[in-house]
């Protein structure tokens, strides 16, 4: 239900910070999402260290958007680090791009999550205008999940209706970006991605526990009245 985004931690003072963060939040989370800042700062060694700290899934949010061969090579570099999935943009299309990425994913076991819509306002300028095509592409490519924004729950509801139940929805935008914990889950998301609300807290473990508690309360309210 809760995926922590480590971008890296905002309050990071020393490398030890990641160890402290993971030890504090691990029991409350379903997985971790690491971004390009994490990779640039800590490298593949950092991902391997994170892998040793947790058994939960790790998503590499590289927002891949390239020709298939380059995306495939990138995933092969990540495959031996313990990463479980990568995030890619949908707008690159299937032929010569996502088709190759998905084939590599089958060989390496690194799943693919596609960006169907984003949490910032500018997503409406271009990305959201193509949401139908992106959702169809997610089904055609057989990806494991999509990203849809907690900041616009109507987009999550639309995606859930169109996708049915088999593709997971990962939803960022909780906390600092304005959405309430649990609101995306109520709209049909499987996971809420939360970064700074937890990583920027003095006590990340306590922050994660609180987010989880609010998620559960809201979720049980919207499902059982």
Interacting residues toward ligand BMP by CB under 6 A:
5, 7, 35, 61, 118-119, 147, 149, 172-177, 193-197
* 33 labelled ligand-binding: yes
Structure tokens at 147: 């990203």
121 catalytic? Reply is no
Whole-number minimum distance, CB 107 to ligand BMP, in Å? 25
User: What is the C-alpha to C-alpha distance for residues 202 and 43, in angstroms, rounded to an integer?
Assistant: 25
- Among 165, 164, 128, 166, smallest CA distance to 149 is for 128
Residue 98 vs 207, nearer CB to ligand BMP: 207
Whole-number minimum distance, CB 224 to ligand BMP, in Å? 27
H/E run at residue 63: strand 58-64
* 43 labelled ligand-binding: no
Q: Which of these is catalytic: 19, 41, 44, 63?
A: 63
Residue 175 vs 204, nearer CB to ligand BMP: 175
* 41 labelled ligand-binding: no
136 catalytic? Reply is no
Contacts of 120 (CB under 8 A, 6+ apart): 151, 177
63 catalytic? Reply is yes
Report the phi/psi class of residue 83: left, alpha or beta, with left for phi > 0 and alpha for psi in -120 to 50. beta
The 8-class DSSP code of residue 174 comes to B
Which residue ranges make up the annotated binding site?
Answer: 7, 33, 119, 195-196
Which residue ranges make up the annotated binding site for substrate?
Answer: 7, 33, 119, 195-196
């Amino acid at each position: 239900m809760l995926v922590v985004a480590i971008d890296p931690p905002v309050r990071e003072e020393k490398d030890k910070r990641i160890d402290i963060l993971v030890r504090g939040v691990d029991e409350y989370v379903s997985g971790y999402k690491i971004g390009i800042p994490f990779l640039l700062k800590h490298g593949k060694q950092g991902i391997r260290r994170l892998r040793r700290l947790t058994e939960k899934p790790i998503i590499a949010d590289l927002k891949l958007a390239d020709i298939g061969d380059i995306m495939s090579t990138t995933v092969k570099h990540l495959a031996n680090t313990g990463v479980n999935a990568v995030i890619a943009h949908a707008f690159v299309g299937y032929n010569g791009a996502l088709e190759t990425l998905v084939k590599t994913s089958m060989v390496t076991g690194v799943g693919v999550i596609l960006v169907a819509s984003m949490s910032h306002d500018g997503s409406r300028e271009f990305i959201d205008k193509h949401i139908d095509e992106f959702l169809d592409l997610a089904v055609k490519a057989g990806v494991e999940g999509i990203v849809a924004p907690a900041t616009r729950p109507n987009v999550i509801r639309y995606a859930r209706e169109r996708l049915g139940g088999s593709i997971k929805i990962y939803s960022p935008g909780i906390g600092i970006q304005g959405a309430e914990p649990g609101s995306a889950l109520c709209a049909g998301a499987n996971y809420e991605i939360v970064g700074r609300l937890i990583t920027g807290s003095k006590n990340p473990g306590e922050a994660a526990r609180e987010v989880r508690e609010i998620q559960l309360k809201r979720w049980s309210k919207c499902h059982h009245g």
